[in-house]
């Protein structure tokens, strides 16, 4: 479980750099001058960078659920079974969520988001079952 927590945190860090990387690729090096400056005025994001930023905001919300559940799973020694598989489902769904959000293909983003929350539900079920 600890490895999965670290992998989710790594994904979070990667997502924090993604909007800037997309902006740099789509707009050019002047974005880096903005990033290194005082940022007095907000930079208008490109469509894809805006989507990457919104995916990051969504990850912020999901982390408030994932981290306590995963730490409770570690506390209760749930290193296998439903809690572990729920964390795996959550991680894989969150990895898929970023390109699903950026590409905006139909309902893909919503489906992937739902799968990730099913993973959180699996973790919650295992933690509650162990706590009772």
**Domain edges within the chain:** 2-131
For the chain, residues with pLDDT lower than 50 are none
Residue 49 has φ and ψ, to the nearest 5°, of: -65, -40
Q: Can you tell me the distance from the alpha carbon of 7 to that of 92, in angstroms, rounded to the nearest whole number?
A: 10
pLDDT of residue 121: 98
pLDDT of residue 33: 65
pLDDT of residue 40: 72
Q: What would the two tokens of residue 71 be? A: 């730490």
What string of DSSP letters covers 8-21?
HHHHHHHHHHHHHH
pLDDT of residue 12: 97
pLDDT of residue 42: 75
Q: What CATH class is the domain 2-131?
A: mainly alpha
* Nearest residue to 86 via CA among 128, 54, 56: 128
């Amino acid at each position: 479980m600890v490895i999965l927590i670290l992998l989710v945190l790594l994904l979070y860090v990667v997502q924090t750099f993604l909007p800037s990387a997309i902006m740099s690729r789509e707009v050019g090096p002047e974005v880096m001058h903005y990033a290194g400056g005082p940022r007095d005025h907000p930079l208008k994001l490109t469509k894809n960078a805006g989507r990457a930023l919104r995916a990051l905001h969504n990850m912020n919300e999901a982390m408030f659920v994932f981290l306590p559940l995963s730490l409770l799973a570690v506390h209760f020694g749930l290193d296998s079974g439903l809690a572990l598989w729920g964390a795996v489902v959550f991680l894989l769904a969150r990895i898929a969520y970023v390109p699903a959000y950026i590409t905006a293909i139909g309902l893909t983003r919503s489906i992937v988001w739902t799968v990730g929350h099913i993973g959180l539900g699996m973790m919650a079920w295992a933690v509650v079952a162990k706590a009772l």
